């Protein structure tokens, strides 16, 4: 079954008008969706878990992002007559729409995920998220555990065309001396924001078009202006350099591979049926479930959203 224009809100049919209204609302919400998306989908990102929220990869996520996901959930729950849309599906759709609103591609998102029964542990988070100081061999070894290949690594890293980074995530490239793989003028520019170690300032990931989802991230790499070691090494390593060069001159090729990789990544460790739940609060798992207190499906177990362009 395919959802047309909104969500499948009950067992009989589609409450199209209300659901489309709420879909337009959450499409206006933009939140930071980056490398942490590679963590298993058995637990959604918006959670009050101390381990998840305070873990090094997630500590700089904006509180407004978590509030936005919960606000979307509340709107959909009221419109659809109950908890029928999982927080995991909302996060996947919000990520897609954030990319599109910033100028990137729009693509169909497979639906039917359920939310985790418990928050992810700190070990699970750190085991799925390589640090920004990693080089390509380490990144590929992380990804080998969950699916994406070298092409996926390069394309998904392109999400750094948006967002910001705090000094601590790249300061090792500036102190005690400049990383030789970094353009010296770019290093000087960064030191205006990060004049010494342990400064909690931030800068844009993409120096050229920081608020647009495009291929300029790869142009940055060609000019040795990648912010993270994990980014710049994509242009240094022989396995990934050809794709960086291609994406820098062919935005359509980047968009195509990004879509393929995002859809694939969004289906990693997905929970369905009795493996998970539809949370009534995205921040925490449901305290207890009794028979009949939630519907036995997420959106549509095997549905793929039908795009309304």
CATH code where residue 301 lies: 1.10.520
Q: 184 pLDDT exceeds 90? A: yes
Other CB atoms within a 10 A radius of the CB of residue 252 amount to 10
**Is position 138 within any domain?**
no
Q: Tell me whether residue 136 is in a domain.
A: no
| Residue 248 dihedral angles phi and psi, to the nearest 5° | -65, -25
Determine whether the annotation assigns residue 160 to a binding site.
yes
Q: Do 174 and 281 fall into the same domain?
A: no
Is the pTM value of this prediction over 0.85?
A: no
Q: Which residues form the domain of 107?
A: 3-126+268-306
Kindly state whether residues 170 and 236 are assigned to the same domain.
yes
Among 54-58, 255-259, 285-289, which is the least confidently predicted range? Answer: 54-58
- State yes or no: pLDDT of 290 exceeds 90: no
Exposed / middle / buried, residue 177 (Cβ in 10 Å: 0-12, 13-18, 19+):
exposed
Of 186 and 291, more confident:
186
- The answer on pLDDT for 96 being more than 90 is yes
Q: Is position 142 within any domain?
A: no
pLDDT band (50, 70, 90) for residue 7:
very low
Query: Region 227-248: what's the mean pLDDT?
Result: 98
Residue 211 labelled as part of a binding site: no
**46 & 119 share domain:** yes
Question: Is residue 130 marked as binding?
Answer: yes
Task: Evaluate whether residue 162 is within a structural domain.
Answer: yes
What's the token pair of residue 216?
A: 């300029």
CATH number of the domain enclosing 194: 1.10.420.10
12: pLDDT confidence band, cut at 50, 70 and 90?
A: very low
Q: Does residue 67 belong to any structural domain of this protein?
A: yes
Q: Is 195 annotated as a binding residue?
A: no
* Alpha carbons 263 and 155: distance in angstroms, whole number: 12
Domain boundary (261, 276, 295) is at 261
> Does residue 276 lie in a domain region?
yes
Residue 141 maps to a domain: no
Query: Which range is least confidently modeled, 43-47, 55-59, 271-275?
Result: 43-47
The confidence band for 37, taking pLDDT boundaries of 50, 70 and 90, is very low
Q: How many domains does one find in the chain?
A: 2
Phi and psi, residue 171, nearest 5°: -65, -25
Of 9-23, 40-54, 177-191, least confident by mean pLDDT is 9-23
């Amino acid at each position: 079954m395919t959802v047309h224009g909104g969500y499948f809100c009950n067992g009989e049919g589609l409450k199209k008008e209300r659901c489309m209204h709420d879909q337009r609302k959450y499409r206006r919400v933009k939140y930071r969706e980056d490398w942490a998306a590679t963590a298993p989908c058995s637990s959604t990102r918006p959670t009050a878990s101390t381990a998840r929220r305070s873990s090094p990869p997630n500590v700089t996520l904006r509180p407004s992002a978590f509030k936005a996901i919960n606000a979307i959930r509340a709107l959909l729950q009221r419109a659809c007559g109950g908890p029928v849309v999982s927080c995991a599906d909302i996060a996947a759709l919000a990520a897609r729409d954030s990319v599109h609103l910033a100028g990137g591609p729009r693509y169909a998102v497979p639906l039917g995920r359920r939310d985790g029964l418990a928050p992810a542990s700190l070990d699970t988070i750190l085991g799925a998220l390589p640090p920004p100081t990693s080089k390509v061999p380490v990144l590929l070894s992380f990804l080998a555990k969950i699916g994406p290949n070298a092409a996926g690594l390069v394309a998904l890293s392109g999400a750094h065309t948006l967002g910001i980074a705090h000094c601590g995530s790249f300061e090792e490239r500036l102190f005690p001396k400049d990383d030789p793989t970094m353009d010296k003028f770019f290093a000087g520019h960064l030191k205006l924001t990060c004049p010494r170690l342990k400064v909690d300032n931030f800068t844009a990931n993409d120096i050229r078009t920081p608020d647009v989802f495009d291929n300029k991230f790869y142009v940055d790499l060609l000019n040795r202006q990648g912010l993270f070691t994990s980014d710049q090494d994509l242009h240094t390593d022989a396995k990934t350099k050809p794709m960086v060069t291609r994406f820098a001159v062919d935005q359509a090729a980047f968009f195509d591979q990004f879509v393929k990789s995002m859809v694939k990544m969004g289906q990693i460790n997905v929970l369905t049926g009795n493996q998970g739940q539809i949370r009534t609060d995205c921040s925490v798992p449901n305290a207890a479930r009794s028979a009949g207190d939630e519907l036995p499906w997420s959106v549509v177990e095997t549905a793929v959203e039908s795009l309304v362009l």
